[in-house]
Structure 1
Amino acid sequence: MSKKQMSHKAYLQIIMISATFGGLLFGYDTGVINGALPFMAQPDQLNLTPVTEGLVTSSLLFGAALGALVCGKLADRYGRRKMILNLSFLFLLASLGTTFAPNVSTMVVFRFLLGLAVGGASSMVPAFLAEMAPHEKRGRMVTQNELMIVGGQLLAYVFNAILGVTMADTDHVWRYMLVLSAVPALILFVSMLFVPESPRWLTSKGKKSEALSVLKQIRDEKRAKFEFNVIEKAVEKDSELKKASFKDFSTPWLRRILLIGIGVAVVNQITGVNSIMYYGTQILQESGFGTKAALIANIANGVISVIAVIFGIWLIGKVNRRPMLIIGLCGTTTALLLIAIFSMVLDGSAVLPYIVLSLTVLFLAFMQGCVGPVTWLVIAEIFPQRLRGLGSGISIFFLWIVNFIIGFAFPILLSSVGLSTTFFIFVALGLLGISFVYKFMPETNGRTLEELEEHFRAQYDKESTMKSIYKAQ
């Protein structure tokens, strides 16, 4: 069946599935370390301490921070599709490098390279999907990437449990866990060969006939022409400005958008979500489970994440972004508070592991059902076309930097101050996150990307006018 014969909806679905394999790799490569660490840490393997354990985990996150920052700018220059295609090769190379790493130093280097790919995918895939989707489906389409991320994490937890239980006595079982990520890397590479470039990016580079052709493949002809005219006008307006750079964010209304993007990204991480996604097995061990039982129990975290994201994708088309994020943050903070309290009150109790598991599941239900989908969607949609790659890249850079700090510090905190105090710290951070969203985050639902840009400009102009009137009085 040719592209012309294929229905617009079906082709758009193929594009979405192909691109979101980047999200699947993001999920698998961040989740697999959860089960691999206990085996990797053994004396006859990499002999990890709490510090080197944090370093192995967080080296990927530091690489992801740089990848998000650099790849966002490269995507603006060379195109979203081409960069995702190149990242698939880096995913494959780094996956094999971590699999065969003979020592901690080599592992850290290849985990860093893997992070570059993860960070690049985390900034480019949502932006690419936002630009391909019709505005009424943008929320659900972009959040499909979140579903693939948690789906990748669930696959990692399942394979970790299967290999960890059946091959626990086998040397280098963690290497088998790591090598499996090479498979989706190959699928991403092959599938992206058949995906077109973003029509918004093509228009911005003067390739208007190609842009219109792509739109006609994913919209009916009347709508394709209408959207092309809207995009063309937005690009012409942007072309009057200089090339995108960090200096652009010195403009007050753009600086406000950037600070909102960074704030939403940081709030996502200070919930402590990745302390559970990366160290869930260790948290369950700390509460009283054995290694094998913790690996199996950790699958529950992956299952609830997938279910919650599916619910979140449905919900995001029904309700506004801002209240959805506030409700999610209230739920995650409450769950963490209960973990901290019960870990202190029931320390050493046989029932504690099951309470902690239940509360981590509750935490992830709110996190993946509300907080995660809104975070990635807002970052993908608030920036104007000319600055979308750079703006989302900067925002996600901060997301990964905070992720890096938490990923490195968590095992050290866990070993030094214990489970209860560690989670009390996340409760305090969660309260700060709720305050930020309530005070600063605007509503973005129900507008096209171009309408959002006009809204932010108009809002700034209105505020400037009011300030001028106030000063004149």
Structure 2
Amino acid sequence: MIVGAYLWGVVSDNHGRRKGFLIPAIVMFVAGFLSVFSSNYASLLILRYFVGIGLGGCSVLPSWFLEFIPSPSRGTWVVILSTFWTLGTILEASLASLIMSRLGWRWVLALSSLSSLVLLVFYSVTPESPRYLCAKGRTIEALQILRKIARVNRVEIPSGTLASDYTIEFDEENNTPSKNTPLLLSLRKFYIIKNPKKTKSSMQSLTSLFMLFFTRIRQINALLMGHLLF
């Protein structure tokens, strides 16, 4: 997963968010389905290795989704998205418990690979991230997607211009961005917020990364302990 997370992150930054989760989904489905026909442990381990690489692309999908969510609501949706990992773990364990003893492990792997197939089915209706398009200078395409989103939600697009690189200037009286602030900012370059009260230190970012890392370690330990106990 570590290899896949880095690999698909590079793909999504250079070729788009959609390709960043399309290719991993294909890898997971093909390798996962072929695992059903493994004739020995070596072939099974190799195929599951590729499933793990594809699984590393799961980090791209939340990034793509959250780029459509307003900033004040992103924290809530991060928590909601995290619950699906837990629900998926419970579902997979339940699936194995019900099927493995009756039909064998091959059926468990076959049914588990269908989730990637569902993602591929809905790929055709997923738009590219406007933030990514804007960062690549494709502002016309980004604006078309934003207009479509606004039309579906029956709202008007906020006033502003699309830009790739920009410095945010705050209105000191209202403590809000100025009217000239672009709708989308660059993904590839840092932007400066001219408001000391809103500036966050890099130490806070490192703390968040460590918290995320140790949270995942705790989840893995809980799964291992549950397997040993039950």
TM class, shorter-chain normalised?
0.7 to 0.9
* Amino acid aligned to 1:276: A
What stretches of structure 2 of length at least 5 have no aligned partner? Answer: 164-180, 192-200
Cα shift at 1:112: 1.1
Aligned position for 2:186: 235
C-alpha deviation, 1:279, in angstroms? 5.9
Q: What is residue 133 of structure 2 aligned with on the other side? A: 202
Could you say which residue in structure 2 is the equivalent of 1:471? none
Q: 1:236 to 1:108 in 2, by over 3 A?
A: closer
Counterpart position of 1:283: 229
Tell me: CA distance 1:258–1:239, structure 2 relative to 1, closer, same or farther (3 Å). closer
* Cα distance in 2 for residues equivalent to 1:127 and 1:237: 14
CA deviation map 1:372-422 (0-9, x unaligned): xxxxxxxxxxxxxxxxxxxxxxxxxxxxxxxxxxxxxxxxxxxxxxxxxxx
The answer to whether the aligner puts 1:181 opposite 2:112 as a matched pair is: yes
CA distances 1:173-221 after superposition (whole Å, capped 9, x unpaired): 0111111122211110110211101111000111101111212233432
Amino acid aligned to 2:138: K
Check conservation: 1:202, 1:211, Cα contact below 8 A: yes
**Worse-matched range after superposition: 227-236 or 143-152:** 227-236
Question: Is the alpha carbon distance of 1:218 and 1:278 closer, same or farther for their aligned partners in structure 2, counting shifts above 3 Å?
Answer: farther
Contact 1:276/1:283 (8 A) holds in 2: no
> Residues 280 and 98 (structure 1 numbering): CA distance in 2 closer, same or farther, change over 3 Å?
farther
CA distance in 2, matches of 1:67, 1:147: 22
Give RMSD over aligned pairs. 2.7
Q: Contact 1:98 / 1:110 at 8 angstroms: preserved in 2?
A: yes
Q: What TM-score does the superposition give when structure 2 sets the normalisation length? A: 0.75
The residue number in structure 2 matching 1:341 is none
Larger Rg: 1
| 1:423-470 alpha-carbon deviations (Å, 9 max, x no partner) | xxxxxxxxxxxxxxxxxxxxxxxxxxxxxxxxxxxxxxxxxxxxxxxx
Look up the match of 1:106: 43
Map of 2:145 onto structure 1:
214
Matches within 5 A, 1:427-438: none
In 2, the alpha carbon distance for the partners of 1:194 and 1:231 equals 27
- Please list, as runs of the form range in 1=range in 2, the aligned pairs for 1:7-46 lying within 5 A after superposition: none
Counterpart residue type for residue 16 of structure 2: G
Of 147, 150, 153, 2:86 maps to 150
Give the direction of change, closer, same or farther, for the CA distance of 1:210–1:150 in structure 2 (3 Å limit): same
Which residue does the alignment assign to 1:459? none
Maintained 8 Å contact 2:100/2:107: no
Equivalent residues of 1:80, 1:197 under 8 A apart: yes
Mapped to 1, the partners of 2:6 and 2:188 lie a distance apart of 25
CA distance in 2, matches of 1:203, 1:82: 17
Helix, strand or coil at the partner of 1:193? helix
**Structure-1 separation of matches of 2:184 and 2:76:** 26
Residue in structure 1 matched with residue 196 of structure 2 by the alignment: none
Aligned residues between the structures: 200
Conserved 8 A contact 1:129-1:141: no
- Aligned residues of 1:91 and 1:182 also touching (Cα < 8 A): yes
TM-score by length of 1: 0.39
Query: Which segments of 5 or more consecutive residues in structure 1 lack a partner in the other structure?
Result: 1-63, 241-252, 285-473
Contact kept in structure 1, 2:28 and 2:113, CA below 8 Å: yes
Q: Which residue of 2 aligns with 1:75?
A: 12
Aligned residue runs from structure 1 range 351-362, under 5 A: none
SS at match of 2:144: helix
Q: Give the aligned partner of residue 66 of structure 2.
A: 130
| Offset from partner CA, 1:40-90 (integer Å, 9 cap, x none) | xxxxxxxxxxxxxxxxxxxxxxxx010111211211101111221122111
**Aligned partners of 2:186, 2:79: CA distance in 1, in Å?**
26
Shift in CA distance, 227/282, structure 1 to aligned 2, threshold 3 Å? farther
Q: In structure 1, what is the equivalent of residue 123 of structure 2?
A: 192
Structure with the bigger percentage of helix:
1
2-side partners of 1:194 and 1:233: how far apart? 22
Higher relative contact order (CA 8 A, sep 6+): 1
**Alpha carbons 1:87, 1:120 under 8 Å: kept:** yes
Moved over 6 A (4+): none
Q: Which amino acid aligns with 1:221?
A: E
Same amino acid, percent of matched pairs: 25
